[in-house]
Amino acid sequence: MNQDILEIITQLREELRQHNYNYYVLDNVAISDYDFDIKLNKLQALEEQYPQYFDTTSPTQRVGGEITKNFRTITHENRMYSLDNSYSKEDLFDWEKRIQKNLGTENTEYTCELKYDGASINLSYKNGKLISAVTRGDGFKGDDVTANIKTIKSIPLQLKGQFLDSFEIRGEIILPLDGFNKMNEERIAVGEDPYRNPRNTASGSLKLQDSVEVAKRPLDCLLYHVVANKIPFETHFETLEKARKVGFKIPKAIKVCKSIDAVFEFINFWDTERHNLPYETDGIVIKVNNLHQQDELGFTEKAPRWAIAYKFKAEQESTVLNEITYQVGRTGAITPVANLGPVQLAGTTVKRASLHNADQIEKLDIRERDTVFVEKGGEIIPKVVGVDFSKRPSDSQPTQYATHCPDCETLLVRKEGDAKHYCPNEFGCPTQITGRIQHFISRKAMNIDGLGAETVELLFEEGLIYNYADLYDLRIEQIIPLERMAEKSAQNIVDGIELSKKVPFEKVLFALGIRFVGETVAKKLAKHYKSIDKMMVASFEDLTNVDEIGDRIAQSIVDFSNDLSNIQLIDRLRNYGLQLEMSAEFQANQTDKLQGKIFVVSGVFHQMSRNELKKAIEDNGGKVSSSISKKTSYIVAGDNMGPSKRTKAESLEIPIITEGDFIEMIT
């Protein structure tokens, strides 16, 4: 009897999965809504009657019902990189030249795909079942939104066939325009404000606490990239086609292009045709199609070298510039801001836009009361790009740039060769003080949960903190009396601050907010000096000898290290127990065996993955380069090394070693 019931349940699940796939992926209706609901209700009743046959991938698990109060933060197993952007065909030609130079070949094939305007998502599958769904976040960590993602019918909970045992697939959660418009019609009908744009609404939907509410929204998911330790296919296109066959919604607008000219044809076609799409898109993504070539090209600190986004020309509107005001950054940099008459731009209402610096204002001759042209750079950040001089008032006067800090009235300075003006009152300007603390607690730095920008300003205004070291003196009883605070919130802040003492040295170094020391530079400095003390006693000349550290960064570090206030801050952080040197575990895996040696890694390897090889080079003091030059010390060559790379290496008489030779070298 039980075996018969299990067969009925299994059959119903398979039928419903296929109907979901037909409708939401293939756009092919094979059953009426009524008949579908009858089968779903029957399955639900059987699953309730026989709970021993529960299955997390059952179609009944899509209906929602799970409440998520707090979304767990998950570290991505594989970082979600952003893409470099291009805005002209010249940019794409330059990109292709870099690729051909790095690969040592002109025979490069590309795939072209539409760039979808939604919320990025990373789906993890194991043995054909959906395990988790995590937002992009900062690329390193994101939020677990699995319960909400399960309500999206185009995302398979169980694959239709064999694909890969364990993998991630990435894509975009979108809100089709018809569904978005219908949602707004319903909101307006009941007297509520309409949603601003589909992208933000899709993104916000993923963080709703009640998955039942998410299920009511017509969200869709378009997938475009598979990540796994080993992909048994030759090309990106073949991988996506295999993924399509097992149930993933891979967009049809993907094309293999044999040349950059064919890429331009694809761009030109979709620049017009995109307006007929059922969802928003803002550009084209071009990728090197061959997976071995992708692997060889690798990544920069922020983006893959093997992919680039071509952004369509930004939408532009005109409006009146009512007033120019000035903002102070955490480093004291002054940014002029255009306060505009509200204007709709790329789906959002824009009221403010950056004017960059005094030179830009003078170059464009921007004045208050001008009618100006505004666009979104990369369709993200609004900026003023020109002036309609035909509408300029007759009594208009040229803009006189600010001479004093808007926050502390200190006389501004501008060093020779610097585009920006600065407030030199580093330790007395309120915005600089709170800005440095806000940078210190930020996600990419100390990542202190419970603390936000507004709370930092409140703590400063109440006289509880004047610098980031003061955070470690805060007590719960000091925080509870503050506005909008409760005992739980205060406890979370104190716990978050305590937990930050475990943050690794390179992140602490970035958090200190030394001018020009970003994430990448902080990692290089941490790896080179291994402790804050060694870095702070380094001379200007010694600093400039560190890989990729130029005069400007070196001078900034010297200035920071010689300031008594900063020395005292570092001493306090040390006493509080922050990580001001590389961990013993990290240092135990480091050697100087390859110090001063530059390696180029090329080909397919068997004992180590390419990333493991590169890490081994860096862990042993060497440097990895993407292209061959006279400075190259060794080529580590695997199978299928590019013939032109081999020829260039031989012509420069650079030693070519095998994977085994390299392993012997470091052991």
Name residue 511's beta-bridge partners: none
Of the pLDDT bands very low, low, confident and very high (cuts 50, 70, 90), residue 645 is confident
d(CA 523, CA 90): 33
Percent of the chain at pLDDT > 90 equals 57
With a cut of 70, say whether residue 380 has pLDDT above it. Answer: no
pLDDT at residue number 10:
86
Give the CATH number for residue 219. Answer: 3.30.470.30
pLDDT at residue number 623:
87
With a cut of 90, say whether residue 412 has pLDDT above it. Answer: yes
Residue 184 counted as domain residue: yes
pLDDT at residue number 395:
94
Across residues 48-72, what is the average pLDDT?
75
307-311 and 85-86 beta bridge pairing: parallel
Instruction: Among 459, 487, 502, give the residue marking a domain's end.
Output: 502
139 with 206, same domain? yes
Q: Which range of residues forms the domain containing residue 20?
A: 2-62
With a cut of 90, say whether residue 39 has pLDDT above it. Answer: no
d(CA 561, CA 536): 5
Residue 23 counted as domain residue: yes
The 3-class SS string of 394-437 reads CCCCCCCCCCECCCCCCECECCCCCCCCECCCCCCCHHHHHHHH
93 with 215, same domain? yes
* Identity of the amino acid at 566: N
d(CA 287, CA 306): 6
d(CA 42, CA 13): 11
With a cut of 80, say whether residue 378 has pLDDT above it. Answer: no
52 with 105, same domain? no
Residue 379 counted as domain residue: no
115 annotated active-site: yes
Give the CATH number for residue 52. Answer: 1.10.287.610
Of the pLDDT bands very low, low, confident and very high (cuts 50, 70, 90), residue 107 is confident
Of the pLDDT bands very low, low, confident and very high (cuts 50, 70, 90), residue 41 is confident
d(CA 148, CA 213): 9
Residue 419 counted as domain residue: no
Across residues 576-602, what is the average pLDDT?
86
Of the pLDDT bands very low, low, confident and very high (cuts 50, 70, 90), residue 647 is confident
pLDDT at residue number 393:
95
With a cut of 90, say whether residue 55 has pLDDT above it. Answer: no
Residue 655 counted as domain residue: yes
135 with 217, same domain? yes
pLDDT in tens, 535-552: 999 999 999 988 779 999
CB-based contact 634:657 (threshold 8 Å): yes
528 with 607, same domain? no
Domains held by the chain: number: 5
Q: Is 533 helix (H, G, I), strand (E, B) or coil?
A: helix
574 with 613, same domain? no
pLDDT at residue number 68:
67
Across residues 307-322, what is the average pLDDT?
90
pLDDT at residue number 80:
93
With a cut of 90, say whether residue 505 has pLDDT above it. Answer: yes
491 with 516, same domain? no
pLDDT at residue number 27:
64
Go through 457-489 and write b for each residue having 16 or more CB atoms within 10 A of its CB, e for each that does not. bbbbeeebbebbbbbbebeeeebeebeeeeeeb
d(CA 423, CA 409): 9
With a cut of 90, say whether residue 65 has pLDDT above it. Answer: no
Of the pLDDT bands very low, low, confident and very high (cuts 50, 70, 90), residue 221 is very high
Across residues 563-583, what is the average pLDDT?
95
Residue 349 counted as domain residue: no
Give the CATH number for residue 530. Answer: 1.10.150.20
The vertex-578 CA angle with 576 and 581, nearest 5°, equals 135
Instruction: Among 311, 328, 348, give the residue marking a domain's end.
Output: 311
Of the pLDDT bands very low, low, confident and very high (cuts 50, 70, 90), residue 418 is confident
Across residues 398-406, what is the average pLDDT?
96
pLDDT at residue number 316:
83
With a cut of 90, say whether residue 20 has pLDDT above it. Answer: no
pLDDT at residue number 592:
83
d(CA 424, CA 432): 10
Residue 420 counted as domain residue: no
Instruction: Among 563, 587, 611, give the residue marking a domain's end.
Output: 587
How does DSSP assign 291-338, residue by residue?
HHHHHHH-B-SSSBTTEEEEEPPPPEEEEEEEEEEEEE-TTSBEEEEE
pLDDT at residue number 497:
96
pLDDT at residue number 67:
64
d(CA 66, CA 64): 6
33 with 6, same domain? yes
pLDDT at residue number 195:
84
With a cut of 60, say whether residue 597 has pLDDT above it. Answer: yes
**Sequence-ordered list of residues with C-beta below 8 angstroms from that of 583, at least 6 positions apart, any chain:** 504, 505
Across residues 408-424, what is the average pLDDT?
92
User: Taking all residues of the chain, what is their mean pLDDT, rounded to a whole number?
Assistant: 89
234 with 118, same domain? yes
Predicted TM-score of the model (pTM): 0.72
With a cut of 70, say whether residue 408 has pLDDT above it. Answer: yes
Q: Is 251 helix (H, G, I), strand (E, B) or coil?
A: coil
CB-based contact 246:298 (threshold 8 Å): no
564-576 helix and 551-562 helix, angle to the nearest 10 degrees: 80
**Sequence-ordered list of residues with C-beta below 8 angstroms from that of 397, at least 6 positions apart, any chain:** 367
More confident of the two residues 410 and 101:
410
Of the pLDDT bands very low, low, confident and very high (cuts 50, 70, 90), residue 248 is very high
pLDDT at residue number 260:
92
144 with 238, same domain? yes
Across residues 343-369, what is the average pLDDT?
89
With a cut of 70, say whether residue 660 has pLDDT above it. Answer: yes
Percent of the chain at pLDDT > 70 equals 96
pLDDT in tens, 120-142: 999 999 999 999 999 998 888 89
Name the nearest CA neighbour of 385 among 368, 402, 360. 360
d(CA 625, CA 598): 7
pLDDT at residue number 396:
94
How does DSSP assign 495-512, residue by residue?
HHHHHGGGS-HHHHHHHT
pLDDT in tens, 138-174: 888 899 999 999 999 999 999 988 999 999 999 999 9
Of the pLDDT bands very low, low, confident and very high (cuts 50, 70, 90), residue 69 is low
Across residues 105-134, what is the average pLDDT?
93
Residue 289 counted as domain residue: yes
With a cut of 90, say whether residue 176 has pLDDT above it. Answer: yes
Of the pLDDT bands very low, low, confident and very high (cuts 50, 70, 90), residue 532 is very high
217 with 302, same domain? yes
Across residues 386-396, what is the average pLDDT?
94
With a cut of 70, say whether residue 503 has pLDDT above it. Answer: yes
With a cut of 60, say whether residue 1 has pLDDT above it. Answer: no
Catalytic, out of 42, 69, 115, 614 = 115
With a cut of 90, say whether residue 323 has pLDDT above it. Answer: yes
114 with 19, same domain? no
